[in-house]
Structure 1
């Protein structure tokens, strides 16, 4: 296991779940050691990593003798332990909206884009059906998010302060726009937020291509 005196993040450059936690760590100004887990090479099944996260997913965070293997749980842990640059406002309505947005992304769309899921669909139905299904799921969730954001967005997802909702939205928007190359022009609020995130240093530093295990182009 990693150095007991320093936060360690087990991450894969293209994982949107790990991307979320990189943003949180950056926003809170926390120094951490980056441990790459290549999901395409099967590093997640290495016995040493399985001992850290039996689910074989990234991210996993090690903080001394505390080990957490779920991005939502990691985000809440960091929010409680390191209250600087808070991601959950005291206002109960705004707090609930941030959690709702994060939950929609974390449970309503991202799991459907997990490598295990999309590889299974492609194997059973072929690439065209996989792509059509993926696009349909994105549009379903983005339609709901756009309606929700229409009632609460300011400069960012909930008002004018960066919150947990933004932390979850940014990687999802990146993945849809950059990787899946799906047009989001029908979702003007989401498109505007994607542009806004690109101007924030903590978000910029967390993008996949800026990670140490990102492939050289």
Structure 2
């Protein structure tokens, strides 16, 4: 039986053959974790360059040439250099059509963008390494964990309300979407680093268990990265 490949499949295969991707990241960075998931879901192979945040490698001149802000991740795709995890994931979505991250339903797309915004604007930046160092030095080391927990609980409470009417197997239905790509690393950090009781958040807790069933998510876990430290 003859089969005819769709235009998107043909384009996807051609682009995959042409790809020359390098990801600069750090194993414990949730922003790097997001991009690893996205690359895995798209089936894209990439070279991995570790930037050790604890050693200050993000401030080295060579890295600042790639990202003047001095944050990971950075994706290099041939002549294109993209930093900021959301920009990278949108770039991948636009260039590589296989396994789309956004639903066609306009309302569900909006829910995805709102969930992404809550994680990337209202939760993760408020407990990044630089801010926690500032709190430790200027407020006190005992104040770091209560601060992080309050930020995460506020954001998770909002996410529970946002997703309540839209969840299926995953965040906004029965297909993995961009919301899931951002939620998985944030929930993983909440449970593994910051001692959040997920019983307070039944929707997110259920999603968290579901993500472990997906190879693209499991392979992207921090502990499975080549620069992971036990």
Is TM > 0.5 for Structure 1 vs Structure 2?
Answer: yes
Give the secondary structure class of the aligned counterpart of 1:153: coil
Give the secondary structure class of the aligned counterpart of 1:123: helix
Aligned to 2:116: 102
Question: Contact 2:111–2:163 (CA<8 Å) still a contact in 1?
Answer: no
Question: Where does the alignment leave 5 or more consecutive residues of structure 1 unmatched?
Answer: none
- Which is helix-richer, 1 or 2? 2
Aligned to 1:47: 61
Question: Where does the alignment leave 5 or more consecutive residues of structure 2 unmatched?
Answer: 1-17
Aligned to 1:87: 101
Question: Contact 2:37–2:216 (CA<8 Å) still a contact in 1?
Answer: yes
Q: Per-residue displacement from partner, 1:31-50 (whole Å, max 9, x unpaired)?
A: 10000000000110111110
Q: Per-residue displacement from partner, 1:39-89 (whole Å, max 9, x unpaired)?
A: 000110111110000010000000011001110000000000001000011
TM-score when normalising by structure 1: 0.96
Aligned to 1:172: 186
2:171 aligned with 1:142, yes or no?
A: no
Partners of 1:142 and 1:88 in 2: CA distance: 21
Question: Contact 2:82–2:88 (CA<8 Å) still a contact in 1?
Answer: yes
Which consecutive segments of 4 or more residues in structure 1 shift more than 2 A?
none
Give the secondary structure class of the aligned counterpart of 1:151: coil
Give the Å deviation of 1:183: 0.9
Aligned to 2:199: 185
Give the Å deviation of 1:127: 2.1
Aligned to 2:166: 152
Aligned to 1:129: 143
Give the Å deviation of 1:180: 1.1
Give the secondary structure class of the aligned counterpart of 2:200: coil
Give the secondary structure class of the aligned counterpart of 2:55: coil
Give the Å deviation of 1:128: 2.0
Question: Larger deviation: 164-173 or 146-155?
Answer: 146-155
Give the Å deviation of 1:5: 5.4
Give the Å deviation of 1:16: 0.2
Aligned to 1:26: 40
68, 71, 74: which one aligns with 2:88:
74
Question: Larger deviation: 123-132 or 143-152?
Answer: 123-132
Partners of 2:141 and 2:60 in 1: CA distance: 29
Give the secondary structure class of the aligned counterpart of 1:109: helix
